[in-house]
Structure 1
Amino acid sequence: MTAAQNPAGLDLRRLRQWLPTAVPGAGGELSAKLIAGGKSNLTYEVTDGTSTWIVRRPPIGHVLATAHDMAREYRVMAALQDTDVPVPRTHALCEDTAILGAPFYVMERVEGIPYRYAGDVAGLTPERVRVISEALVDTLGALHSVDPAAVGLAGFGRPEGFLARQVNRWKKQIDASRTRDLPAADELHKQLAARVPTESAAGIVHGDYRLDNVLVDAQDRLVAVIDWEMATLGDPLTDLALMLVYGRLADASVSDLIADVSTVPGFLSEKEIVERYSRGSRRDLSELGFYVALASFKLAAILEGIHFRHVHGQTVGEGFAGIGDAVVPLLESGLRSLQEYR
């Protein structure tokens, strides 16, 4: 996108007045472009012609602050600055809604690519893809080894009872968006509720960890983990399991909207991901089947919600027609996982 004087949701005149208070030396006329939008938080690239920054704010008109908590995103990235987890350097959080109409924060712009589709890595050899996917797993292990209290995040979430709450949350979500009978959903929920394990030691959970939520530089180094809007304290094995299930969803090839970079030659297989994570982690993976089943239930609930909106004419754009076809296979995969990882 080309730079604009006032992209939607960003008043550059007011931002120009405020920015020097957060970034000494910032000034001059600002221009900006929206680089990520929609129902997720909005991300802008802002420049004064000399320096460039990233500004993040909630979706325009969104009023559910708990779902798009700028202070939460900012806090977790600021806490991780001096750890082995690469994150963008944060500059300032602004909770004065008079500036942009919503809280926002400013962070450094990191040069890197969020690989999402197989075509994005078409120019990379399988060896390079393998290096990138290994770094993805190793960085997740580094995140999960961080002591939340040691970096000032002791009160960042409620880890006690985290797994049981997740089971209940996604049951409510899938029930609220059903357009059809889903007996596999009822069976998977029943088995999950009956098998909630003793939780892994509490840690920082990214909440949506995958290759297109990290930035990779030209030397195939993972230089930043981004999109922390789902971060909390809880059971970190939910991150590992969700990454695995994203891979299973990519293999299903149900829609062009599904990220499929994990299907390219060189990307670690599910078994290789688990083995590499296990070698670098002290966490007990004996109940991994539960976590994979829970992640399958979560993604099925999310996709059923998208299918519901598509059926009712509430989606905009192409590619949604096949989304609903992935729900039952995901649920059945979740049921199998309860046995596969025993």
Structure 2
Amino acid sequence: MAETETAQDLYSGTKPVVESHKFDESKLAAWMEANVEGYEGPLVVRQFKGGQSNPTYQLITPKKKYVMRRKPPGNLLPSAHAVDREFRVINALYPLGYPVARPYGLCMDESVVGTIFYVMDNVEGRILWDGTLPEYEPAMRRKIYEAKVKTFADLHNVDWRKAGLEGFGKEGDYVARQVHRWTKQYKASETMHIPEMEQLIEWLPKNIPAGDKTTIVHGDYRLDNMVLHPTEPKVIAVLDWELSTLGDPLADFSYHLMNWVMPAGDTTRGAISAIPDLKAWGIPTMEEYVAMYCEHTGRDGLPELDYYFAYNAFRLAGILQGIIGRVRDGTANSANAESNAARVVPLAQFAASYARKAGMEG
């Protein structure tokens, strides 16, 4: 799933399959018959309204619903839209009891639907779009956040070698590689001089916190990328593994924490920071939430958070600048170009403010 696309976009309803994403449904039905345990047709195919990154379909049978994720048709970058990677990580996690949709099968034969795809369970439950949980009482809000952070910690506690994820990503130097990547993208897409970005490009790679371990990272863990039990405060499926890899768990967790520290006006993060009294509202303060994560992962604390906040805001600025650059070059839609451009400087300033807390001069 693309960086700016959420489960709300993807799972908010279905529509008839669009013309450009149609395929021979009889071939899919035959594949399901041969490869999906318990499958019984006939098959009806609908397309989820979102899923621009990887077209996603609801497969409906008289007794059960499934979800299919496929690569989009057309010429693609070799590493993009890697639905086989998504399948690999959920296939590794499901037998461990980690809450992901049950994977049924991966098809690398492009003759079936035109591109590679995988099929998983359609998990029935609640997807909550607003992180402030306005429809719930404070006690339930607290329980939902407790479930969310425990599920996140459980992911970082998975022994990825025992789970069969050798080679799923490079071990070590995750933040260094990310800083290099987004610096390169920012420079290639630069449309104006931002002094704070230049400072960060110089400072971040020289001050990476030392000594953290490698874990599975989700890449975009948030409330609207998971399915909750229909009635209980329990995570029953974490969704959208397109950005998952092996990496630094603190980069992953601190990106999630941006909800608490980003300015309330930012459109991707910051809704929680607009609440004047989190305890009265029932949502843990950032300090409480960090303490919960540390308890579940056996850590004494997270002293390097200021660096990680600077890194994550820098990364977001690089992502947005990349979108602006693609609009400039005529390779992306310009619908949100103006709003994205307006966010880069504030993000750079936000990142620099945390970098200064972490020791950056100037």
| TM-score between the two structures when normalised by the length of structure 1 | 0.88
Determine which of 218, 225, 228 is the counterpart of 1:206.
Answer: 218
In 2, distance between residues paired with 1:333 and 1:271? Answer: 20
Q: Equivalent residue for 1:331?
A: 348
Determine which of 83, 106, 109 is the counterpart of 1:96.
Answer: 109
Aligned-residue sequence identity (percent) comes to 35
Determine which of 155, 159, 165 is the counterpart of 1:153.
Answer: 165
In 1, distance between residues paired with 2:199 and 2:179? Answer: 13
- Residue aligned with 1:100, SS: coil
Encode CA deviations 1:74-100: one digit per residue, 9 max, x unaligned: 111111113353111110000001111
Determine which of 249, 266, 273 is the counterpart of 2:289.
Answer: 273
Provide closer, same or farther for how the CA distance between residues 38 and 146 of structure 1 changes in structure 2, counting only shifts above 3 A: closer
Larger displacement relative to structure 2 (15-24 or 307-316): 307-316
Contact 1:216 1:222 in 2 (8 A): yes
Contact 1:214 1:224 in 2 (8 A): yes
Encode CA deviations 1:250-284: one digit per residue, 9 max, x unaligned: x43244xx366645643333333222212222346
Matches within 5 A, 1:67-82: 67-82=80-95
Provide closer, same or farther for how the CA distance between residues 19 and 76 of structure 1 changes in structure 2, counting only shifts above 3 A: same
CA apart distance, 1:38:
4.7
CA apart distance, 1:31:
1.7
Encode CA deviations 1:9-40: one digit per residue, 9 max, x unaligned: 24222211211112134243322222253542
Contact 1:74 1:105 in 2 (8 A): yes
Amino acid across the alignment from 1:269: T
Determine which of 164, 169, 186 is the counterpart of 2:198.
Answer: 186
Matches within 5 A, 1:37-52: 37-52=50-65
Q: Equivalent residue for 2:126?
A: 113
Note the aligned Cα RMSD (angstroms): 2.6
Larger displacement relative to structure 2 (268-277 or 110-119): 110-119
Aligned length: 337
- Residue aligned with 2:47, SS: strand
2:333 is the counterpart of 1:315: yes
CA apart distance, 1:175:
1.4
| TM-score between the two structures when normalised by the length of structure 2 | 0.84
Provide closer, same or farther for how the CA distance between residues 28 and 39 of structure 1 changes in structure 2, counting only shifts above 3 A: closer
2:240 is the counterpart of 1:227: yes
Unaligned runs of 5+ in 2: 1-12, 276-280
Provide closer, same or farther for how the CA distance between residues 188 and 34 of structure 1 changes in structure 2, counting only shifts above 3 A: same
- Residue aligned with 1:33, SS: strand
Contact 1:7 1:32 in 2 (8 A): no
Encode CA deviations 1:138-196: one digit per residue, 9 max, x unaligned: 11111111111111112211112222111100101111222211111111121101102
Contact 1:117 1:260 in 2 (8 A): no
Q: Equivalent residue for 1:143?
A: 155
CA apart distance, 1:68:
1.5
CA apart distance, 1:8:
4.4
Encode CA deviations 1:80-135: one digit per residue, 9 max, x unaligned: 1133531111100000011111110000111123323369x432223322222222
Amino acid across the alignment from 2:288: E
CA apart distance, 1:2:
5.1
In 2, distance between residues paired with 1:281 and 1:266? Answer: 23
In 1, distance between residues paired with 2:93 and 2:354? Answer: 33
In 2, distance between residues paired with 1:189 and 1:331? Answer: 11
In 2, distance between residues paired with 1:226 and 1:135? Answer: 15
Determine which of 63, 66, 71 is the counterpart of 1:58.
Answer: 71
In 2, distance between residues paired with 1:10 and 1:51? Answer: 22
Encode CA deviations 1:207-247: one digit per residue, 9 max, x unaligned: 11111211112223211111111111111111111112244
In 2, distance between residues paired with 1:44 and 1:32? Answer: 7
In 2, distance between residues paired with 1:320 and 1:252? Answer: 20
Contact 2:196 2:349 in 1 (8 A): yes
Amino acid across the alignment from 1:266: G
In 2, distance between residues paired with 1:316 and 1:172? Answer: 22
Contact 1:128 1:220 in 2 (8 A): yes
In 1, distance between residues paired with 2:20 and 2:173? Answer: 40
Provide closer, same or farther for how the CA distance between residues 30 and 78 of structure 1 changes in structure 2, counting only shifts above 3 A: same
Provide closer, same or farther for how the CA distance between residues 248 and 285 of structure 1 changes in structure 2, counting only shifts above 3 A: closer
- Residue aligned with 1:97, SS: coil
- Residue aligned with 1:92, SS: strand
In 2, distance between residues paired with 1:276 and 1:70? Answer: 32
Q: Equivalent residue for 1:33?
A: 46
Contact 1:145 1:281 in 2 (8 A): yes
- Residue aligned with 1:71, SS: helix
Amino acid across the alignment from 2:127: P
Unaligned runs of 5+ in 1: none
Amino acid across the alignment from 1:178: E
Amino acid across the alignment from 1:155: G
Provide closer, same or farther for how the CA distance between residues 259 and 115 of structure 1 changes in structure 2, counting only shifts above 3 A: farther
CA apart distance, 1:310:
5.5
In 2, distance between residues paired with 1:115 and 1:333? Answer: 28
2:252 is the counterpart of 1:239: yes
Q: Equivalent residue for 2:176?
A: 164
